[in-house]
Amino acid sequence: MFQFKDVSYGPLKDLTFSINKKEKVILFGPSGAGKSTLLFLFNRLHSPSSGSIYLKEQEIVDFEVTELRKRVGLVLQEPNLFPGTVLDNVKYGPSIFGEWDDQEAEKLLQYVQLPESYLDRDVAQLSGGEKQRVSLARTLANSPDVLLLDEPTSALDYRTAEEIEECLENLIEVHNLTMIMVTHNLKQARRLGERGLFMVDGRLVEDGRIPEMLEKPKSKELEKFIED
Ligand SMILES: Nc1ncnc2c1ncn2[C@@H]1O[C@H](COP(=O)(O)OP(=O)(O)OP(=O)(O)O)[C@@H](O)[C@H]1O
Ligand SMILES: [Mg+2]
């Protein structure tokens, strides 16, 4: 699905790896390792200074950037909603492509487990967890194949984080999504991940199965990271 060939950018050094369709990948490692930087390369929020990135055999620079970002959705730690109602936010993406149908709205809210009555609410008045649900619904509205998640639950309290995590797990299953998620939470990594990419200082230090790689780390770096 995705293929990185000798990609360098900022802190990232010569990364070569590929990700298969429907794989559930956890990107983890110490703060400053380059996880967010790497994640942003997938939908061209960053562009490599050298090397190439392919999506299904085609270099991502050859895609129209709006089309790429429709297929490769991104959800961040802080919900990036714009002022307005829940409906304004969820219809935004599809409206750009003239693909919005008001009947979609109800279904989208169901996916993220919010009542339909929330459509008219001002997003400024929602709780952190609710905002994160709207943020997810807005991304799903574009019918992505790939979901990029940068610590999507780390700004939430423990309980809300678990609720959002369950919601995510469900969505990924129902929509057959490929997931690439950054998380510092190894319990979450075990619950949602199948494959782990462990990064230190801009390099991929381990690439393995979850939970096996967490139980039997091969490198000193991962061993130490798990201990801490
Ligand atoms: N274009 C760039 N050129 C050089 N250095 C950069 C560039 N972009 C980011 N960096 C540096 O790369 C490092 C990695 O940043 P990044 O935000 O990707 O880390 P992270 O692994 O997501 O960390 P955290 O867990 O704290 O979110 C940081 O030290 C950052 O300052
Ligand atoms: Mg980060």
Domain ranges of the chain: 2-227
Rounded CA-CA distance 14/4 in Å is 9
Tokens 């942003």 belong to 40
Predicted pLDDT at 96: 86
Q: Which ligand is nearest to the CA of 150?
A: 2
Tell me the average pLDDT of the chain. 96
Rounded CA-CA distance 206/68 in Å is 28
**pTM summary value:** 0.95
Best residue among 35, 37, 42, 148 to mutate for probing ligand 1's pocket (most ligand atoms within 8 Å of CB) is: 37
Percent above pLDDT 70 for the chain: 100
> Which residues are CB-contacts of 135 (< 8 A; sequence separation ≥ 6)?
75, 76, 79, 80, 81
| One-letter identity of residue 143 | S
Q: How confident is the model at residue 16 (pLDDT cuts 50, 70, 90)?
A: very high
Predicted pLDDT at 80: 84
- What's the DSSP call for residue 34? S
Q: Which ligand is nearest to the CA of 34?
A: 1
Tokens 């490692």 belong to 29
Percent above pLDDT 90 for the chain: 95
| CA distances to 7, 49, 169 from 80, in Å | 28, 27, 21
Query: What would the pLDDT profile of 59-70 be if each residue is shown by its tens digit?
Result: 999 999 999 999
Helices (H) and strands (E) in the chain, counts: 9, 10
**Residue 127 CB-half CA count within 13 A:** 8
Residue with CA at minimum distance from ligand 1 atom 24 = 31
Q: How confident is the model at residue 97 (pLDDT cuts 50, 70, 90)?
A: confident
**Residue 102 CB-half CA count within 13 A:** 2
Average pLDDT over residues 151-175: 93
Q: What is the CATH number of domain 2-227?
A: 3.40.50.300
Q: How confident is the model at residue 132 (pLDDT cuts 50, 70, 90)?
A: very high
